[in-house]
Amino acid sequence: MKFIVSSSYLLKNLQILGSIINSNNTLPILDNFLFNLDGKSLTVSASDLETTISSKLEVESTEKGNVCIPARLLLDTLKTFPEQPLTFTIEENNIIEISSDHGKYTLAYASGDEFPNAIELKDPSVTVMNGNILSTAISKTIFAAGNDDLRPVMSGVLFQFSEDSLTFVATDAHKLVKYTRQDLKASQNAEFIMPKKPLNLMKTILAGSEDEVTIEYNESNAKFTFNSTEMVCRLIDGKYPNYEAVIPKENPNKLNIDRNQFLNSVRRVSIFSNKTTHQIRLKIAGAELNVSAEDIDYSNKADERLTCGYQGDDMEIGFNSRFLTEMLSNLNSDEVLLEMSLPNRAGILTPSDGLDEGESIIMLVMPVMLNN
């Protein structure tokens, strides 16, 4: 078996695939890329058992065969080459030889038959959407997903597909983000929870892409197909919490403020907050917002005044500054609206502008108790 391929083209594809490989695999075969050659088409796959991703590459060859090549060794070697054609020759005695313009490199390979097969989806439902929209939906929600192994359903992003909209939700019980596209629909109602690792990978690959992504899904797995790439992953098993129940409906206190000004103020003031609670205090009266923080242990204190538009009763409410910073950083609008009811009820953050037609986003942040 022999094929010729461009070094930079191969490296670019392998770097994407390689990010799925774990650093400490239980199965040694998963430390390899699977190369499956069929004439001019080379399919390269990588897997961590939960997720398998594969890409089709164009190469010069007339042969067929499959081998497993050590991923780390191959990537480290490819990174050092300038752009040039590389010839891969598979020898009999489990040795693969790579020939470049300047030299030859030999490494051991394993049989391709040992590599686990990607799961075939039985009777999947299908939805098609634009790659950039999917990437946006992931990046707007994934930061709010939890990291708690005891609550695995909250460590992923909920995909809710219906006949009139597509909704993506993530929460860790302190913050929640719901991203909806009214301009997209599915053929039937369905919901499933996607793990974070494959989503982070897709977010990177699909950013700015105008390609269509075909999403196939059933009870236990989902498959994403775009360009010449396929990704199959196991879904998180379990029932997602009823997030609609925690979104407060009546929020008479409405604060309108410049997003950048608010974000920078929260960032600055939070430097002076307590290092365990990260608590900042918002005090709103009339058209003035007072942002303050204090760390009594070290006599650190900060206080800022901002002008804002406000309708409602004067109020004081405390938030974890890290959650507010994350949320404000993940919005693109010039102005934001913060709606509140009581100091012990969740605040709702929404962008006032900068959304596409049919796009909506709601961010919910739980307050922290103020000690007066």
The b-or-e profile of 324-337 (16+ CB within 10 A means b, else e) is: bbbbbebbebebbb
Strand order in the sheet with 315-320: 300-307, 288-295, 279-285, 315-320, 367-368
Instruction: Give domain status of residue 174, yes or no.
Output: no
Here the tokens at position 118 are: 């990607």
The b-or-e profile of 151-185 (16+ CB within 10 A means b, else e) is: eebbbbbbbbbeeebbbbbbbbebbbbbbbbeebe
On whether both 276 and 333 belong to a single domain, the answer is yes
pLDDT of amino acid 372: 64
pLDDT digits (tens, 9 = 90+) for 109-133: 999 999 999 899 999 999 999 999 9
Instruction: Give domain status of residue 19, yes or no.
Output: yes
Number of domains in the chain: 3
pLDDT of amino acid 17: 96
pLDDT of amino acid 212: 96
Phi then psi for residue 360, to 5 deg, are -140, 150
Residue 317, domain extent: 247-368
On whether both 252 and 361 belong to a single domain, the answer is yes
Element (H, E) at 223: strand 221-226
On whether both 94 and 135 belong to a single domain, the answer is no
On whether both 237 and 257 belong to a single domain, the answer is no
- Averaged pLDDT, groups of 10, the chain, 372 residues long: 96 96 93 97 97 97 96 96 96 93 94 93 94 96 94 96 96 96 94 96 93 95 95 96 94 97 98 96 96 95 96 96 97 96 96 93 95 69
On whether both 23 and 105 belong to a single domain, the answer is yes
Rounded CA-CA distance 51/173 in Å is: 26
pLDDT of amino acid 160: 97
Of the CA atoms within 13 Å of residue 365, those in its CB half-sphere come to 22
pLDDT of amino acid 92: 84
Q: Which of 217, 241, 265 is the last residue of a domain?
A: 241
Rounded CA-CA distance 294/240 in Å is: 37
pLDDT of amino acid 246: 92
On whether both 151 and 213 belong to a single domain, the answer is yes
On whether both 22 and 65 belong to a single domain, the answer is yes
Supply the CATH number for residue 134's domain.
3.10.150.10
Here the tokens at position 296 are: 């009594």
pLDDT of amino acid 287: 93
On whether both 258 and 362 belong to a single domain, the answer is yes
pLDDT of amino acid 149: 86
Q: Check: CB of residue 184 under 8 Å from CB of residue 211.
A: no
pLDDT of amino acid 44: 98
Instruction: Give domain status of residue 102, yes or no.
Output: yes
Residues 6+ apart with CB under 8 A from 219: 235
pLDDT of amino acid 370: 85
pLDDT digits (tens, 9 = 90+) for 206-222: 999 999 999 999 999 99
